[in-house]
Amino acid sequence: MAAEVGRVGYWLAGELGEPPHLLHPTPTGFAADGKNWLQGYQLGERARVSARDDHAPVKSVQGLLESLGIHVAFVSFRTADIEAAAVWEPKAVPVILLNKQLERISRVHSRRSVLAHELCHLLHDASVETGLLTSVTRSSQESDPAEQRANGFSPGFLAPRAWVEEVREPGALMTLLITRWGFSVEGAAWHTRNTLRLPEAEATELMQSHRSMPLARLVESVARRQDGIRASVSPLMDGLVADRVVEAHEHDLLSRGRAAELLHFQ
């Protein structure tokens, strides 16, 4: 179903005379030395410079991904083990599905990390032969090489080490990542550890000592094009593709009935 949404988004972009997406995927083999998390850091930092080299926190990760042509949808999976999924095929826009039933997804700061994690799958895990990608992120698969790499990609993308490593005192870096860069306390602890090469025990201590620190005030919501037909849009369509449906209807490229049919797809 997500693949079909991606195909609709691609077709609508063509009708509107817009590029369907701005991603340039590069299927990438895993690290020869087994340090997939470190490879992920390097890929994430490279992707961030390419997407937005502003040396500043991303105000809305979802907004940034949508500006690249990625459709993000909040859906309910039947199992709580699934956090998210990434689906992409030729002649479709990339699609990220987030399991809205999970607390990790409902919390803004951890959701930013998940979105960046899924971007890694979209950019580097597609089949070399077919270009197809169906990646499911499960909380029970942390030892999987693709998951390890995406776990490193996420903080590398959100706050490249070269942009924050001038802060050499661990507590100060933790505070900076939490209050300015939009990290959760746990995410900040592990990014601090990897940036300053700290022992795991010290990272754990930092996490405990910063538990009560207020998180950065961030808004991940994205402004949507409004139209009366959008009142009952399905969770699977709600997002970038629904915006394109509404825009196509406004330009008389879709009848009201066809637009409503697409918006209700589920």
pLDDT of residue 61: 97
Confidence (pTM)? 0.95
175 Cβ contact list (under 8 Å, min separation 6) = 210, 213
Backbone φ, ψ for residue 81 (5° rounding): -70, -25
How much is the pLDDT for 83? 96
* pLDDT score of 41: 98
Phi then psi for 180, rounded to 5 degrees?
A: -115, -40
How far, in Å, are 7, 97, 233 from residue 261 at the CA level?
A: 15, 21, 9
With beta carbons less than 8 A apart as the criterion, state whether 203 and 174 touch: no
pLDDT < 50 positions in the chain: none
